[in-house]
Amino acid sequence: MIFNHFSSDSRVWLFIANQKLSPSQCELLHSQFSNFCETWKSHGTPLHGEIKCIHDQLIVFGVNQQNLCGRSVDALVRFVRETEGSLGLDLLNRNRMGYLKNDVFNPFLFREIKNLKINGSISSTAMITNNFIEKNGEDLFIPLDQSPFRD
């Protein structure tokens, strides 16, 4: 589980930054998200959200709830857009993926996956980002041969 004190069904979102975040950027992001969470609600009920920066490039937002109203999800997306501007990052490129090699995160764009396989950078057992993650109990990294990109 990504957030240990959230239920496994709690909602999570993964964003992969276009560059590594510095410690000060991670700290600012945590602070901004904390401020955002003070007013974040779903159907009028306050939401308890958390954030993790993993490998200095993966940003995971979590909320200890499963069913959110569309406006609460829209609010998170607006927050991410604002964060992109204030931190000079690109977070909303959904074609960005990554794999782990010797516990080092290596980002790539989806269109590059075939060449990464051909040149041997990744194998069928390579641990790649689970870009379709939605629940806290799902794995953030999955083997390539268990992903939709296996072929």
Domain final residue, candidates 46, 63, 87: 87
The percentage of the chain sitting over the pLDDT mark of 70, rounded to a whole number, equals 100
Domain boundaries, position 129: 98-146
Domain final residue, candidates 68, 87, 106: 87
Kindly report, residue by residue over 115-146, the tens digit of the pLDDT: 999 999 999 999 999 999 999 999 999 999 99
H-run or E-run covering 99: strand 96-101
- Is 151 inside any structural domain? no
**Beta strands 141-143; 45-46: pairing state:** unpaired
Kindly state whether residues 20 and 50 are assigned to the same domain: yes
pTM: 0.94
**Phi and psi at residue 128, to the nearest 5°:** -110, 160
- Is 71 inside any structural domain? yes
Hey, CA dihedral for 126, 129, 133, 135, is it positive or negative?
Answer: positive
Kindly state whether residues 104 and 47 are assigned to the same domain: no
Kindly state whether residues 47 and 107 are assigned to the same domain: no
